Amino acid sequence: MAQGNIDALAAKLLHHYGLKLLPGQSVVPEIVSSAVFHLPGDPANASHVYGRYHNPTWEALEGALGVLEGAETLVFPSGMAAIGAVFFATARAGDRILLPADGYFAVRALAERFLVPLGVTVDTRPTAKFLDGGFAGYRLVHIETPSNPGLDVCDLRAAAAQAKSAGAILSVDNTTMTALGQRPLEHGADVAVCSDTKAVSGHSDTLMGHVATRRADLMERFKEWRKFSGTIAGPFEAWLVYRGLETLEVRFARMCETARVVAQLLAAHPKVKAVRYPGLASDPAHAIAARQMLTFGSMISFTLADGPAAERFIDGCPLVQPSTSFGGVRTCAERRIRWGDSVPEGFVRLSIGLEPTDTLCRAIESSLEKL
């Protein structure tokens, strides 16, 4: 999709909710916290029945996210709840599913601890070689691109073609880019999932996730899963994410632009090794990234001499918050080995926030000088 069309979507998103308003109704969606709805007689006549089935505040958020995704969208109380919905609504005993070996660790843990005992076979492949061997025999193929935390990239169009010829469902975790930065459904994926805990809500103050698909059969299953498993978002949290989503476009643009500048700074610095940022022309993922991503994201990974050096860099920079997660207003960093990711001791994942670009660059440079 061209940038002009993305801009049109970002603008439409801001006005979508207002289109159906009647005179006197609030321009901002309301937080509806009712568990029950007025329900005389036949429930088929009511727009809302029970709080586990539907909620007007979720619907406002789903409407806005749906504009961005260009597909029907369902919200879940976290990114993992959204990925769990994809797994449990599609995988059956005897099926094989394929996951990234180097993606978000909880995705593998969920599949290995809960799907394997139900009779599902779970295989993994590194993101950079994900297409090798094809997808024959897989019911579900789930990829993450760029992968978190290594920032390797998988060719979405080729993956979609392979999934189609193998009859596999292709699900893409688009958390690191959001639908503004990468459009898996337009590359042919069946499902896009996103942890809205990150850039979409953007303020590190709530958890949320969503699933988007143009396939009615899959959407039906996801809705059933949510209704019967009860993995539902709280109305207040949905409202917070709606509020964050309204500024996603400006926040994400600043974050990605600063990340581009910081990545160049790091790549040229003698104390920094193995910088990965898909926007660097020298990055092994750059050619595919440039074809399928609209921008190059807000995350950078790199390696310092050893674990203590990495800790000193993080602690020594007043504009880097030592914390997990990414996509928030504050730049933050962590050593991913502390979660068991298979990365070197000195490997740092840096998530760029909203600090003014030059100010952040100077702070990062001075923390590196002190190493």
Using CB atoms within 10 Å of the CB of residue 268, give its burial: 0 to 12 exposed, 13 to 18 middle, 19+ buried.
Answer: exposed
Query: Could you tell me the smallest distance in angstroms from the CB atom of residue 13 to ligand PLP?
Result: 21
Residue 211 or 304: which CB sits closer to ligand PLP? Answer: 211
Integer Cα distance of 219 and 73 in angstroms: 8
Residue 175 or 178: which CB sits closer to ligand PLP? Answer: 175
The residue from 145, 197, 258, 301 that contacts ligand PLP (CB under 6 A) is 197
Q: How many residues form the binding site for ligand PLP (CB under 6 A)?
A: 14
Query: Could you tell me the smallest distance in angstroms from the CB atom of residue 83 to ligand PLP?
Result: 6
Residue 13 or 86: which CB sits closer to ligand PLP? Answer: 86
The residue from 72, 95, 102, 144 that contacts ligand PLP (CB under 6 A) is 144
The answer to whether residue 80 forms part of the interface with ligand PLP (CB under 6 A) is yes
Neighbours of 181 (CB within 10 A): 21
Query: Could you tell me the smallest distance in angstroms from the CB atom of residue 133 to ligand PLP?
Result: 23
DSSP tag of 36? B
DSSP tag of 21? P
Span from 33-41, 58-66, 75-83, 282-290 in contact with ligand PLP (CB under 6 A): 75-83
Strand partners, 194: 210
The answer to whether residue 209 forms part of the interface with ligand PLP (CB under 6 A) is yes
Q: Residue 148 — φ and ψ, nearest 5°? A: -110, 115
The answer to whether residue 195 forms part of the interface with ligand PLP (CB under 6 A) is yes
Residue 155 or 196: which CB sits closer to ligand PLP? Answer: 196
Q: What is the helix (H) or strand (E) element at residue 209, kind and residue range?
A: strand 209-213
Query: Could you tell me the smallest distance in angstroms from the CB atom of residue 59 to ligand PLP?
Result: 20
Give start and end residues of each alpha helix (H) in the chain: 3-16, 56-69, 79-90, 105-110, 156-166, 178-181, 216-229, 235-245, 248-267, 286-292, 307-316, 357-369
Classify the C-alpha dihedral 157-159-165-170 as positive or negative.
Answer: negative
Query: Could you tell me the smallest distance in angstroms from the CB atom of residue 11 to ligand PLP?
Result: 27
Integer Cα distance of 347 and 350 in angstroms: 10
User: Can you state the angle between helices 248-267 and 357-369, rounded to 10 degrees?
Assistant: 30
Integer Cα distance of 136 and 133 in angstroms: 8
Query: Could you tell me the smallest distance in angstroms from the CB atom of residue 19 to ligand PLP?
Result: 29
The answer to whether residue 207 forms part of the interface with ligand PLP (CB under 6 A) is yes
- Which residue has the closest beta carbon to ligand PLP? 79
The answer to whether residue 175 forms part of the interface with ligand PLP (CB under 6 A) is yes
Residue 104 or 252: which CB sits closer to ligand PLP? Answer: 104
Contact 303, 273 (CB under 8 A): yes
Query: Could you tell me the smallest distance in angstroms from the CB atom of residue 80 to ligand PLP?
Result: 4
Rule CB under 6 A: which residues touch ligand PLP? 78-80, 104, 144, 148, 173, 175-176, 195, 197-198, 207, 209
